[in-house]
Amino acid sequence: MVSPAKLICRSPLKETDANLKQTLIAPPKIPSTNDIASTKKRSLERLEQQELERKRLKVERARSIEGAVQVNKAKVIKKVENKVTDEELAEWQKNWRKIMKRDSKIYFDPTDDVDISKVGRSKLLKKMELLKKAFCSLDAEITSFFDSTVTIVITRRSTDNLQILNEQDLLRRAKRNYMKVWGYDKAVRFLRNLDIDIDNLQSNKEALMATPTLSNLLHNEKLYGPSDRDPKTRRDDVHYFKYSHVYMYDSWQLWAPIVILEWKPQDLAKLDELPYPTLKMGTFGRCPFIGDRNCDELSYKRTIKRYNRDKINKKYALVLRQLYQHHAIPVIEDKPLISLSHNSLDSKRLFEKWQRKLTTQISEPQEEKKLSNNKTNTWKEPSRTIPMLKHPAAVLLSRQETEEFPDDLCSTKRQSRITYEIKASGVNQSNDAATSFGNGLGPTRATVMSKNLQTLNKLVVDRKLGTRKHAQNSTKTTPIVGTPLSNQVKNEKSMDELGTATGPVDKVEPIPKKEPVRNSGYCENCKVKYDELEHHIVSEKHLAFAQNDLNFESIDCLIEKLQFQF
Amino acid sequence: MLSASNSPILDPSNRINSNTYTNGNGNGTAAVAAADDRDQDQDHLSTLPEDLPNNIKEEIIALYNDIPALQNSYDIIDKIGEGTFSSVYKAKDIKGNITSRFWPHFWNKSSKFVAIKKIYVTSSPQRIYNELNLLYILTGSNKVAPLCDAMRMKDQVIAILPYYPHEEFRTFYRDLPIKGIKMYIWELLQALKFVHSKGIIHRDVKPTNFLFNPELGRGVLVDFGLAEQEIDYYSDPNLLKNMLSGKSTSFSSSSSLENDEKATNYLELMKELRNNEQFCPCIARYDRNFPSKHKDNNDLHSHSNSVSTAITTNGNTIQHHTLAPTPMVTIQNGKVVNLNNVNGMDLTKGYPKNETRRMKRANRAGTRGFRAPEVLMKCGAQSTKIDIWSVGVILLSLLARRFPMFQSLDDTDSLLELCSIFGWKAIKNCAAIHGLGFEINGLHLIKENGFENGLKEFVYELLNKECVAGTFPEYSVAFETYGYLSQDLFDKNSIEPKLPKSNEDLSKQDDYELKKYQQEVWSDHYWCFQLLELCFEMDPMKRSSADELLHNTFFDELREDGTTDDESNDSLSTTDDDDDDHHHNSIISNSEDGMMADDDVLLISE
């Protein structure tokens, strides 16, 4: 086996530069020019090659008799079987395989016959791909440029009357340089005689690609461009990060990058509106990545709210303290509750501070005014005469101020009858725009990365979820224009936001209660997206599925097992 | 909020009509009493509590209509939960079949209540079966909710589970004392130890899926809807072999090859493996000096705890140990070839404008904010350790008194959130484990290194903010953690727990009690933060297992008590439960009517 680097580095045999000296002898390998041992080896090979060449010519002559007679394929094979003994065939195959591996350079003639239909043409193109693969599997070299080192030219055109072609025509030039000129039929026949199963190749495409052979390299070349370039040179087909970015990629480059994000400087200009998560710390049990935002916990209103909440909560908290005072296993003991003192500001002290302030405030209205000016939020100062609110309970329940914090602790302990959790993001929900919708059951998208398909996909989902958020989002974090992938990542982000709109931690503005999107989702059984669950489950397809007991065999089996226990 | 039109529950009339299509007799339980369900509507209404909102009443009636056999055994009382894939109702076990058969699982032995989980019809039977079957497999522990019964009517499947009178996490996470936290994590880890011992990953460990009753000190793990069997790469070498579709033959001859060629083979092998989505380099760490260091194959298998692993193909074992987080470099023909450049171009500074490579997919089921870094990095070889990370997130919430801890709009945000806490260097090192490169540039608020003193400092900063803003009540237990951290981080000179100015009025007895108490709180905190760091180990292989964590000194008092032995866990021994029961009942009655008067509190004033 050869090292991958050898496989990867373009060997000089495959040099395509037309200005190189056109000797029959292959130029020595560049990496090993200084290596005497290998040059010796190479000269030995040369001798071998020359001998082969002679053999090949003989064989070729023998074969060319058949090639000259126009017969249909089946007949040819029959003839081969008749005329050529197994031994001869084996010998012929052996030689040709060697030739293919060592010193064949195949060029595919891109020109078509003039009078060819579109359908016929696409068929031929497909055939060309197959042939290329087949020759690759023989380790033959396929070149994309015609030059005098080419040994075989394969053309879609008819090879019958080469003489009548233009002097400058490629095929004539090829003939003149003693290259072989094969039509597709001839090439197929040749491969067949070499026991290459073209039809099989078609189905085994993948397997071929995975092996680090020349075919694999060619595949890579198709993906990444010629590999003899200096890897460090900048390339047009690569987007290089210019600005602040986050990039997570497969270090072996076998997979597409996992994270690509790039921001223009103006996106990062506003420190309080950074497009990436930052620690804002915050207080009062809030998520440290969300922070307090406009909420000033030191304000009078919040202080009172918290003070009252804490008073109500005290009993419960102290029960917990008592239960877990000395043991991890909760017990109620007769021992008094021990509490360590602390010097920090707490809700009670803060409340008392405010009380003191408000009582002195009547005599010093100026000071109060200063204080309120410091506030960032817009609530109105409570009227001076009523420092305590009349109905603490009522205040607790009113959520006017805390509306934007759905998980705010100031609301009562049990705000809703039903516990809403942070939504499990579902089974497959991924960064793919196509699947992050509805109930999260949608399948992961196939991994083919067709750009066009991607944009289409996005459009479909965008349309469905509405564009309300979209406009807002694009202003918030403008992706670098003209870089499709960063665009894509950004869009995915916005999709995710939409998907979590019902989650309590969402930072986007409160979602209207009646969200039409909510009831849409993906039915795993019918493998369709639906807009309205109610309509979907009475659809014919779904009902047919539901009524087929065979679909639920395993579940029924389990239910039966469970019945045994009674 | 729920409303009839929003909830994914059917309009009852629709379903009644659909019932008439067939009397799907697929199983023994369903379709017994389908005949007169229309007349029963009124009955249900009468058994339903008056104060239920109408839309929930309608839902419940619809459920009765979907599964007529329900009404023979259960009286649905209320709706108690709604998740992404199911709704849960509370019901009375009329015949007492379930409660008597599964009594060791019920927290309150006189309870007759069960939970009915209605799984939405859009889930595939395979998914439903997976969940129910896992529950069935996991019936052996009283830390995991068992599957008591299940019913199916056409596409509607319901599961019957015990009803657990738990508290919502939000009601107690600010007030649970350190020993309560200990109990919470202890119960959770016990549950996970059992689940993991069956080779199952829960995948969605979070407070909503761990029902805890702080007054009883009991918890139970629920919702295995996203759970899956763990792939065990180590016990079954064929697994890796199968990933090498036919490639192994070229490898079998490696013994006769030169070192250089062995390395080549190894690289090819790795490349092929890495093309497989189920594989991740993190399970096959290679040696930097490979292949010059070839050790005896057998000595590796002997120490199972070591980080090293082996790939076995066709009887040949390639082994590689230690971790090589740096990009791999080999020397070929006297040239240094960086594997970053395998394809002849440097893609570490940019990405192809037209991406042709496949997008890596990995199971990422779970809840954002609770996902381990390997999940975020689409590691193909995720293990039960992802659940341990989630435990860490819960523990962090409890210690810092913040919930939720992460906002995480998507996986990228999640990664950046982890970067802000741990520093991007830690994430970069972690990415290297999974064969990924990670660059972060120009994000000024995300630092190379996280908090200097790790999570302790992070928790301190969070508590400090609240202590400045006065958002903790004066009775808060958070001041204990704050006090501990202040001393631990900023007063390194004294090892002794230091009391804030103690009051001279205190009697000697009180003073002693107080000191003893603080000593205990301080040592609990010490071990608890150690536990926290263990849960947040970036390398899944180095991250402790549930069993290892249960042996942490933090849980000493619980292990010594022996109330929850490994044995009782599996066999549900009755004696223990009886004891507990008695004891718990008394607590319930105590806390429900009595509640201590505030006067009992011994508050030490400044």
Whether residue B96 lies within 8 A of chain A, CB to CB, comes out as no
Provide the H-helix boundaries in A466-483: 468-476
Q: What is the DSSP string of B12-66?
A: HHHHHHHHTT-----SSSTTSS-TTHHHHHHHHHHHS-TTS-HHHHHHHHHHHHH
Interface with B, mutate which of A30, A253, A448 (most B CBs under 10 A)? A253
Stretch among A29-43, A143-157, B548-562, B570-584 having the lowest mean pLDDT? B570-584
Q: Report domain B373-553's class.
A: mainly alpha
Q: For residues B158 and B118, is the Cβ–Cβ distance under 8 A?
A: yes
pLDDT band at B558 (very low <50, low <70, confident <90, very high): very high
* pLDDT tens, position by position, A175-189: 888 888 888 888 888
A235 pLDDT more than 50? yes
Q: For A340, which of B121, B122, B518 is closest by C-beta distance?
A: B518
Two tokens at A127? 């055939």
Q: For residues B373 and B427, is the Cβ–Cβ distance under 8 A?
A: yes
Q: For residues B61 and B13, is the Cβ–Cβ distance under 8 A?
A: no
Rounded CA-CA distance A46/A53 in Å is 10
Rounded CA-CA distance B411/B378 in Å is 10
A330 pLDDT more than 90? yes
Query: Which residue shows structure tokens 């009113």?
Result: A398
Question: What is the rounded average pLDDT of the residues A2-14?
Answer: 40
Question: What is the rounded average pLDDT of the residues A345-366?
Answer: 81
pLDDT band at B171 (very low <50, low <70, confident <90, very high): very high
Which pLDDT score, from 0 to 100, does residue A229 have?
60
Which pLDDT score, from 0 to 100, does residue A493 have?
40
Mean pLDDT of chain A: 66
Cβ contacts (< 8 Å) between A315 and chain B: which residues? 595-596, 598
Cβ–Cβ below 8 Å for A447 and B600: no
A147 pLDDT more than 50? yes
Which pLDDT score, from 0 to 100, does residue A544 have?
92
Residue A484: beta bridge partners? none
Alpha-carbon distance B286 to nearest alpha carbon in chain A (angstroms)? 14
Whether residue B605 lies within 8 A of chain A, CB to CB, comes out as yes
* Measured CA distances, B186 to B182, B219, B548, B565 (Å): 6, 9, 12, 12
Rounded CA-CA distance B250/B550 in Å is 46
Q: For residues A284 and B471, is the Cβ–Cβ distance under 8 A?
A: yes
Q: For B122, which of A416, A449, A524 is closest by C-beta distance?
A: A524
Q: Which is higher by pLDDT, A379 or B194?
A: B194
Which pLDDT score, from 0 to 100, does residue B260 have?
59
Burial class of residue A436 in the structure, from the number of CB atoms within 10 Å of its CB (0-12 exposed, 13-18 middle, 19+ buried): buried
* pLDDT tens, position by position, A86-129: 788 888 888 888 888 777 888 888 777 666 677 777 777 788 88
Angle between helices A36-68 and A86-103 (to 10 degrees): 130
Q: Where are the beta strands (DSSP E) in B208-356?
A: 210-213, 218-221, 228-229, 309-313, 316-320, 329-332, 335-338, 350-352
Whether residue B132 lies within 8 A of chain A, CB to CB, comes out as yes
* pLDDT tens, position by position, B379-435: 999 999 999 999 999 999 999 999 999 988 889 999 999 999 999 999 999 999 999
CA closest to B439 among chain A residues? A247
The CATH number that domain B1-165 falls under is 3.30.200.20
Domain boundaries, chain A: 4-224, 300-404, 532-566
Q: Which is higher by pLDDT, B167 or B300?
A: B167
Cβ–Cβ below 8 Å for A325 and B274: no
Question: What is the rounded average pLDDT of the residues B492-498?
Answer: 64
Running DSSP on this structure, what letter comes out for residue B142? T
Q: Which is higher by pLDDT, A387 or B556?
A: B556
The b/e string for B116-136 (b: 16+ C-beta within 10 A; e otherwise) is bbbbbbbbbbebbbbbbbbbb
Rounded CA-CA distance A50/B254 in Å is 33
Q: Please state the φ and ψ torsions of residue A438, each to the nearest 5 degrees.
A: 50, -130
Q: Please state the φ and ψ torsions of residue A410, each to the nearest 5 degrees.
A: -70, -20
Which pLDDT score, from 0 to 100, does residue A280 have?
92
Interface ipTM above 0.85:
no
Nearest to B376 by CA among A248, A448, A279, A484: A248
Please, what's the largest Cα pairwise distance for chain A? 123
A146 pLDDT more than 60? yes
B17 pLDDT more than 90? no
Which pLDDT score, from 0 to 100, does residue A186 have?
84
B199 pLDDT more than 50? yes
CB atoms closer than 10 angstroms to residue B448: 11
* pLDDT tens, position by position, B66-103: 999 998 899 999 999 887 789 999 999 999 989 888 99
Q: For residues B335 and A5, is the Cβ–Cβ distance under 8 A?
A: yes
Return the amino acid letter for A327: H
Provide the H-helix boundaries in B320-410: 373-376, 385-400
Q: Which fold has domain A4-224?
A: Rossmann fold (3.40.50)
pLDDT band at A361 (very low <50, low <70, confident <90, very high): low
Which pLDDT score, from 0 to 100, does residue B277 have?
81
Is B204 labeled as catalytic in the residue annotation?
yes
Q: For A348, which of B175, B473, B587 is closest by C-beta distance?
A: B473
Interface with B, mutate which of A245, A350, A425 (most B CBs under 10 A)? A425
Nearest to B157 by CA among A546, A179, A194: A546
CA closest to A220 among chain B residues? B343
Alpha-carbon distance A63 to nearest alpha carbon in chain B (angstroms)? 35
Which pLDDT score, from 0 to 100, does residue B283 have?
83
Mean pLDDT of chain B: 76
Rounded CA-CA distance B461/B177 in Å is 19
Residue B68: beta bridge partners? none
Catalytic residue among B75, B93, B204, B488: B204
Rounded CA-CA distance B175/A321 in Å is 8
* Measured CA distances, A137 to A91, A107, A191, A226 (Å): 19, 16, 11, 20
pLDDT band at B276 (very low <50, low <70, confident <90, very high): confident
B242 pLDDT more than 60? yes
Burial class of residue A127 in the structure, from the number of CB atoms within 10 Å of its CB (0-12 exposed, 13-18 middle, 19+ buried): middle
Which pLDDT score, from 0 to 100, does residue A421 have?
43
Alpha-carbon distance B216 to nearest alpha carbon in chain A (angstroms)? 7
Which residues in chain B (370-389) have CB-CB distances under 8 A to chain A?
Answer: 377-378
Q: For residues B173 and B401, is the Cβ–Cβ distance under 8 A?
A: yes
Which pLDDT score, from 0 to 100, does residue A406 have?
41
Q: Which is higher by pLDDT, B605 or A259?
A: A259
Rounded CA-CA distance B471/A347 in Å is 5
Q: What H or E segment, with its residue span, contains residue A318?
A: helix A300-323
Question: What is the rounded average pLDDT of the residues A10-18?
Answer: 38
Q: Which is higher by pLDDT, B217 or B266?
A: B217
Angle between helices A184-193 and A118-137 (to 10 degrees): 30
Two tokens at A265? 């400087």
For a pLDDT cut of 90, what percent of chain A falls above it?
Answer: 17
Q: What is the DSSP string of A438-461?
A: TTS-PPPPPS---HHHHHHHHHHH
* pLDDT tens, position by position, A472-509: 333 333 333 333 343 444 444 433 333 333 333 333 34
Stretch among A243-252, A510-519, B51-60, B247-256 having the lowest mean pLDDT? B247-256
Question: What is the rounded average pLDDT of the residues A397-419?
Answer: 40
Q: For A252, which of B21, B53, B339 is closest by C-beta distance?
A: B339
Running DSSP on this structure, what letter comes out for residue B167? B
For a pLDDT cut of 70, what percent of chain B falls above it?
Answer: 67
Q: For residues A493 and A432, is the Cβ–Cβ distance under 8 A?
A: no
Which pLDDT score, from 0 to 100, does residue B510 have?
81
